[in-house]
Structure 1
Amino acid sequence: MSKPTSYQRLPHAQDCDCSVCWSRREMAKPARSQSIPCAQCRPASAVPKRTLQMGRVGGIWKPLLSEWKVEPTFICEKHTRPDRPPKYWSVVLDTGRPTPYVPIHEPFELVG
């Protein structure tokens, strides 16, 4: 059984509108941030404070051991995420306690 030529993994046209090409274009776009950080918010950073040990690496002197100053991330209260994710569903009807499943080992007959 031969496959049609459209299924032989031929390259797509430049202006192809199929789902694969559309997804590839969307994934190439930079991600939009949910909120723009304010002046109070800052990312984490680490900068070397002083060099403790130097060594020759490939004929060039480079720091081998340094003391670092680390600034932790700070996010203001406005941009802090909540502890729990939002509730996506709610109880429509609460019928009380669930009835437990009791397996029946002996056959029975309905009376009535």
Structure 2
Amino acid sequence: MRPSTMSAYSRLPHAPDCDCSVCWSRREMAKPARSLSTPCAQCRPAYARPIRTLQMGCVGGTWKPLVSEWTVEPAFICEKHTPPDRPPKYWSVVLDTGRPTPYVPIHEPFELVG
């Protein structure tokens, strides 16, 4: 009868102010994700647009521009969405024992033959 009491226990509702890991995870997952890739009002993508047509041509019975002069507006990314210059530092110094000791290989002693 133990498995039935365990399953009955696991189906009990949690209190509204429960701080268990299941309730905490459920609350965190319900929050909207703040993605760094989501553009804000300041960020804008790069785009190009034609300024003037230099050469036209008949393509498939319709006249279309073949050569144009273009202007390019560079993208702008705000400081909040700019990626860091370096990746985050994952390791920290636990114990600094000073300068490292250089490796000196130990050779077996030998005798001169002569």
Which of 53, 56, 62 in structure 2 is aligned with 1:54? Answer: 56
Which of 70, 79, 82 in structure 2 is aligned with 1:80? Answer: 82
Query: Identical aligned pairs, as a percentage?
Result: 86
* Stretches of structure 1 lacking an aligned partner (at least 5 in a row): 1-31
* TM-score normalized with structure 1 length: 0.57
Give the 5 Å matches for 1:1-112: 33-107=35-109
SS of residue matched to 1:67: strand
Q: Distance in 1 between matches of 2:60 and 2:67?
A: 17
Question: Aligned residue pairs: how many?
Answer: 77
Q: 1:75 to 1:33 in 2, by over 3 A?
A: same
C-alpha distance after superposition, 1:29-80 (max 9, x if no partner) = xxx9425322111000011111111123344322221111111001122222
SS of residue matched to 2:53: strand
Shift of 1:104: 2.6
- Whichever structure has more helix as a proportion of its residues is 2
- Runs of 4 or more off by more than 6 Å in structure 1? none
SS of residue matched to 1:70: strand
Instruction: Decide which structure has the larger Cα Rg and report it.
Output: 2
Q: Distance in 2 between matches of 1:93 and 1:105?
A: 31
Q: Distance in 2 between matches of 1:59 and 1:33?
A: 48
CA-based RMSD? 2.3
* Stretches of structure 2 lacking an aligned partner (at least 5 in a row): 1-33
Q: Distance in 1 between matches of 2:80 and 2:48?
A: 25
